[in-house]
Amino acid sequence: MTTRQDYQSDQEVRWCPGCGDYTILASVQNFLADIEIDRSKVVFVSGIGCSSRFPYYMNTYGIHGIHGRAPAIASGIATANSDLTVFVVTGDGDALSIGGNHIIHAMRRNVNLKVLLFNNQIYGLTKGQYSPTSEVGKRTKSSPLGSIDYPFNPISLALGAEASFVARTIDMDRKHTQEMLQQAHDHRGAAFIEIYQNCNVFNDKAFAELTGKEEREQNRINLEHGKPVTFGRDGEYGVVIEGATARLVEVAQVGIEAIHVHDEHAFDPTAAFALSRLSHGPYGPTPVGVFRSMQRPVYEESLDQQILDAQAKRGPGDLEKLITSTGTWTAN
């Protein structure tokens, strides 16, 4: 039997008191203990930011990479070591600003890695500048008159990049977070989990509409496979999808049969994308849970098969012959 302590390193955890990162760390450690995974088969890769201290606090293998490059490093690890469970821990700035190109291509290729994107809608480590997910009008040190940048919707971005598993959870909901981690772990291929994470220093209560005791009952839409998408204290509201557009309705007015039944395994991401557009952030009714979970070829499995096929057809490769085959010269 393993416990959370088995996955805790000897390093002092150094985040601001009250930071949502503490809760996420506990959720991940408890999850790994629950599945009793071999610590030597787990790797955490991070970039730069508050979230990127994560590898230091895990009693597993880990790499603290450079800004935005964690998906590239993790792709190499996962491709060369298919028996490992590889996590990318990143933030909204690290992943969606300088790392935007890397994150979308890791998703597109369907590399077998699990991305945990901590979204606090702010740059925390560098002291409160607006980030790629900050709302329009956000006043910060770098946008004293209010940001005029239109923010990313991370779920829409992941779906558009053809991620085969896409989910959203909230730092304070440890049970739900562990459920999302379990499903992502069981999924073969690229898994993307957006975690709404409170930065109580630079962007406190950004997610209050989904975490407040009264507000969450009216605003949190829990996605469950095979069930109608309803929400509200008594399930009085629901979601209807017409074409590629999702809209909110009162169930009593349209009837339960008109409410969209969630199919997270659908190959076509249109419905999942429509659900992701119900809110462009944690404002008003916002879906949480698994948006998409479907199977398609995994990058490293396809690569291994390609190599085997080539060896069967042509025999073992000759590196020296390849290097000297053409276009070589000697420099004095």
**Cα→Cα distances 112→191, 299, 309, Å:** 8, 7, 21
Per-residue pLDDT band at 111 (split at 50, 70, 90) = very high
CATH 1.10.3720.10 for domain 1-206, yes or no, is no
pLDDT tens digits for 180-231?
Answer: 999 999 999 999 999 999 999 999 999 999 999 889 999 999 999 999 999 9
Which SS3 state, helix, strand or coil, does residue 250 take? strand
pLDDT tens digits for 143-160?
Answer: 999 999 999 999 999 999
Tokens of 308: 């085997």
Model pLDDT, residue 330: 80
Q: 179: part of which helix (H) or strand (E)?
A: helix 174-186
281-52-294-248 Cα dihedral, nearest 10 degrees:
-10
Query: CB under 8 Å to 268, separation ≥6 — which residues?
Result: none
Model pLDDT, residue 99: 92
Domain boundaries, the chain: 1-206, 213-294
Model pLDDT, residue 279: 93
Any idea what DSSP says for residue 166? E
46-52-53-54 Cα dihedral, nearest 10 degrees:
-70
CB 289 within 8 A of CB 224: yes
pTM over 0.85: yes
Counts for the chain of helices (H) and strands (E), in that order: 13, 11
Model pLDDT, residue 323: 81
Model pLDDT, residue 51: 95
Query: Distance from first CA to last CA of the chain, Å, rounded?
Result: 63
pLDDT at position 332 over 90: no
Q: What's the whole-number average pLDDT of the chain?
A: 95
Tokens of 223: 């996605």
pLDDT at position 22 over 90: yes
